[in-house]
């Protein structure tokens, strides 16, 4: 018999189930993710810091956990809530069962709850703060107190909490794509030096830059524009990351300084939001956000519909975009802004995840567009 666990939401709803990770308690904003695969990538995505993730796909754990599907070096999600934990692990890459992985990373998780009811509840009421208690001494009243004590993500700067302490170089490409030169054991010729601001960066962003011939230097979130430019980059990537973009004044200031230069910029998710804020737009908190791997987004220039990976709770308010920024993509789920480009500068931003991981690769060509921007910058010099 597995130990009991419960999930309490701030509005008083309680879900009872069983513990599958470590025992103890955890709090965070509860969000649902609709991806059918990729639980390990989701758990290790730093953007989920201070969030408890529930997965709508009902069977979880069937491919175990391995060392390649990590999007960072640890689990960032505050907790996991699932329907059916798979005891059978069927994947040649698996190194351990999901339960052992969660326990090793000290993650409190609950299984055997009605995740469909939970998701419908979150869709109706919006993202709610919650508390999971697992194992001995679980106490519903105390879990409710803990859920209500969580301050919520609005106004929370978490990029500075998850960023790297020191700069480092990254040279690993995508091992997954057999057609890449990396997988074929060939050395890709480095054409560009890219500085990546780590606001909670996912490894696949770094891999996809390496695949395209970039030498990558990752820098801490609070690196000044002057320090970054002193590295002589050909372009700058503003990474994804957790929390509210609005309080990240240090990043907004640095981006404003980059915008005064001819340097190409590519903002992904939180980075896209920061780019918009630095240009004078505002951001809003969405009711329950976008978290999944099947979100349709329209390319406004071509009309093409792309299936994308998404993970965000905030969005740029399109009505506040300054005239210099042009909308390039829009969500077909709720019409929210998904992409921007600068009318005069070599700057683009995307709200979803062109690096996928997990998810489809429809929007991966945005990385090629960024490469084109760097090529253009070279020819303009
Ligand atoms: N994946 C991300 O970069 C998320 C951005 C931001 N934390 C949001 O929730 O909107």
User: For the ranges 102-111, 177-186, 226-235, 337-346, which has the lowest average pLDDT?
Assistant: 177-186
Would 42 be classed as within a structural domain? yes
The annotation status of 243 as a binding-site residue, yes or no, is yes
- Residues with a catalytic annotation lie at 269, 353, 355
State yes or no: pLDDT of 263 exceeds 90: yes
Q: What is the pLDDT of residue 1?
A: 77
* Same structural domain, 166 and 110: no
DSSP 65: B
Comparing CA positions, the residue from 311, 295, 358 lying closest to residue 38 is 358
* Same structural domain, 228 and 368: yes
The annotation status of 179 as a binding-site residue, yes or no, is no
* Same structural domain, 119 and 172: no
Q: What is the pLDDT of residue 187?
A: 61
* Same structural domain, 145 and 166: no
* Same structural domain, 185 and 268: yes
The annotation status of 177 as a binding-site residue, yes or no, is no
State yes or no: pLDDT of 112 exceeds 90: yes
Would 307 be classed as within a structural domain? yes
CB of 178 within 8 A of CB of 172?
A: no
Going from the Cα of 163 to the center of ligand 1, the distance in angstroms, rounded, reads 14
Average pLDDT over residues 144-160: 98
* Same structural domain, 139 and 286: no
Q: Assess whether the C-beta atom of 358 lies below 6 angstroms from ligand 1.
A: no
* Same structural domain, 169 and 294: yes
The annotation status of 273 as a binding-site residue, yes or no, is yes
287-317 pLDDT tens trace: 999 999 999 999 999 999 999 999 999 999 9
Domain with residue 323: its CATH number is: 3.40.50.880
Would 154 be classed as within a structural domain? no
Q: What is the pLDDT of residue 10?
A: 98
Would 96 be classed as within a structural domain? yes
The annotation status of 270 as a binding-site residue, yes or no, is yes
State how far the Cα of 316 lies from the Cα of 282, in Å rounded to an integer.
Answer: 6
* Same structural domain, 87 and 198: no
Going from the Cα of 198 to the center of ligand 1, the distance in angstroms, rounded, reads 13
Q: Assess whether the C-beta atom of 270 lies below 6 angstroms from ligand 1.
A: yes
Q: Assess whether the C-beta atom of 159 lies below 6 angstroms from ligand 1.
A: no
What are the residues facing 192 on neighbouring strands?
A: 214
Average pLDDT over residues 84-94: 96
Q: Assess whether the C-beta atom of 240 lies below 6 angstroms from ligand 1.
A: yes
pLDDT above 90: percentage of residues in the chain: 93
State yes or no: pLDDT of 183 exceeds 80: no
State yes or no: pLDDT of 373 exceeds 60: yes
Would 105 be classed as within a structural domain? yes
Q: What is the pLDDT of residue 308?
A: 98
Q: Assess whether the C-beta atom of 349 lies below 6 angstroms from ligand 1.
A: no
Q: pTM, whole model, 2 decimals?
A: 0.96
Helix (H, G, I), strand (E, B) or coil at 42: helix
* Same structural domain, 108 and 44: yes
Going from the Cα of 291 to the center of ligand 1, the distance in angstroms, rounded, reads 10
Q: What is the pLDDT of residue 178?
A: 46
Q: Assess whether the C-beta atom of 295 lies below 6 angstroms from ligand 1.
A: no
* Same structural domain, 42 and 142: yes
Going from the Cα of 197 to the center of ligand 1, the distance in angstroms, rounded, reads 14
Would 246 be classed as within a structural domain? yes
Q: Which of 198, 241, 289, 317 to mutate to test the pocket of ligand 1 (most atoms within 8 A of CB)?
A: 241
Q: Assess whether the C-beta atom of 243 lies below 6 angstroms from ligand 1.
A: yes
Would 219 be classed as within a structural domain? yes
Q: What is the pLDDT of residue 110?
A: 98
Ranges of beta strands (E only) in the chain are: 4-9, 14-19, 24-33, 51-55, 59-60, 79-81, 84-85, 108-111, 128-134, 168-170, 192-198, 214-220, 235-238, 265-268, 283-299, 305-316, 325-331, 337-342, 347-350
* Same structural domain, 62 and 23: yes
- Burial status of residue 23 (CB atoms within 10 A of its CB: 0-12, 13-18, 19 or more): middle
Q: What is the pLDDT of residue 294?
A: 95
Comparing CA positions, the residue from 302, 380, 381, 298 lying closest to residue 336 is 298
User: For the ranges 80-89, 170-179, 264-273, 304-313, which has the lowest average pLDDT?
Assistant: 170-179
pLDDT band, residue 380 (cuts 50/70/90): confident
State how far the Cα of 287 lies from the Cα of 124, in Å rounded to an integer.
Answer: 9
Going from the Cα of 47 to the center of ligand 1, the distance in angstroms, rounded, reads 6
Going from the Cα of 311 to the center of ligand 1, the distance in angstroms, rounded, reads 6
State how far the Cα of 204 lies from the Cα of 316, in Å rounded to an integer.
Answer: 24
- The number of distinct structural domains making up the chain is 2
Would 80 be classed as within a structural domain? yes
Going from the Cα of 206 to the center of ligand 1, the distance in angstroms, rounded, reads 18
Domain with residue 103: its CATH number is: 3.50.30.20
Q: What is the rounded average pLDDT for all residues in the chain? A: 95
Which range of residues forms the domain containing residue 61? Answer: 4-149
The annotation status of 335 as a binding-site residue, yes or no, is no
Q: Which of 247, 266, 311 to mutate to test the pocket of ligand 1 (most atoms within 8 A of CB)?
A: 311
Average pLDDT over residues 315-340: 98
Chosen domain end from 149, 170, 187: 149
Q: What is the pLDDT of residue 190?
A: 82
Residue nearest to atom 4 of ligand 1 (CA): 312
Q: What is the pLDDT of residue 188?
A: 67
Q: Residue 236, CB half-sphere, CA atoms under 13 Å: how many?
A: 32
Q: Which atom of ligand 1 is nearest the CA belonging to 268?
A: 3
Q: Assess whether the C-beta atom of 314 lies below 6 angstroms from ligand 1.
A: yes
Give the angle 142-143-147 at the CA atoms, nearest 5°. 120
Q: Assess whether the C-beta atom of 46 lies below 6 angstroms from ligand 1.
A: no
pLDDT band, residue 339 (cuts 50/70/90): very high
Q: Assess whether the C-beta atom of 269 lies below 6 angstroms from ligand 1.
A: yes
* Same structural domain, 299 and 329: yes
Q: What is the pLDDT of residue 115?
A: 98
The annotation status of 61 as a binding-site residue, yes or no, is no
Q: Which of 30, 273, 281, 282 to mutate to test the pocket of ligand 1 (most atoms within 8 A of CB)?
A: 273
């Amino acid at each position: 018999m597995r130990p009991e666990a419960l999930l309490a939401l701030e509005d008083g709803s309680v879900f009872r189930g069983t513990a599958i990770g470590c025992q103890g308690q955890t709090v965070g904003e509860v969000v649902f993710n609709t991806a059918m695969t990729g639980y390990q990538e989701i758990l290790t995505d730093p953007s989920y810091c201070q969030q408890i993730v529930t997965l709508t796909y009902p069977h979880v754990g069937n491919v175990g956990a391995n060392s390649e599907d990590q999007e960072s070096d640890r689990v960032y999600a505050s907790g996991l809530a699932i329907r059916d934990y798979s005891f059978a692990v069927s994947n040649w890459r698996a190194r351990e069962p999901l339960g052992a992985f969660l326990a090793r990373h000290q993650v409190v998780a609950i299984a055997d709850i009605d995740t469909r009811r939970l998701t419908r509840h979150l869709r109706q009421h919006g993202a709610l703060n919650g508390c999971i208690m697992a194992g001995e001494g679980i106490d519903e009243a105390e879990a409710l107190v803990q859920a209500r004590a969580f301050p919520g993500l609005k106004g929370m700067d978490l990029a500075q909490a998850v960023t790297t302490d020191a700069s480092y170089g990254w040279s690993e490409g995508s091992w997954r794509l057999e057609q890449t030169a990396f997988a074929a054991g060939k050395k890709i010729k480095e054409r560009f030096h890219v500085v990546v601001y780590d606001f909670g960066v996912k490894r696949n962003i770094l891999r996809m830059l390496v695949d395209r011939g970039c030498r990558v230097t990752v820098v801490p979130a609070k690196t000044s524009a002057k320090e970054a430019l002193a590295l002589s980059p050909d372009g700058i990537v503003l990474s994804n990351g957790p929390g509210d973009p609005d309080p990240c004044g240090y990043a907004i200031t640095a981006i404003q300084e980059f915008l005064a230069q001819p340097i190409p910029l590519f903002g992904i998710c939180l980075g896209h939001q920061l780019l918009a804020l630095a240009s004078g737009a505002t951001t809003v908190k969405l009711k329950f956000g976008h978290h999944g791997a099947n979100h349709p987004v329209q390319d406004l220039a071509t009309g093409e519909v792309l299936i994308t990976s998404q993970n965000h709770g905030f969005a740029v308010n399109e009505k506040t975009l300054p005239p210099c920024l042009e909308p390039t993509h829009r969500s077909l789920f709720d019409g929210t802004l998904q992409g921007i480009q600068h009318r005069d500068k070599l700057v683009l931003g995307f709200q979803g995840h062109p690096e996928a991981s997990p998810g489809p690769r429809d929007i991966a060509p945005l990385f090629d567009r960024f490469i084109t921007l760097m090529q253009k910058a070279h020819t303009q010099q």
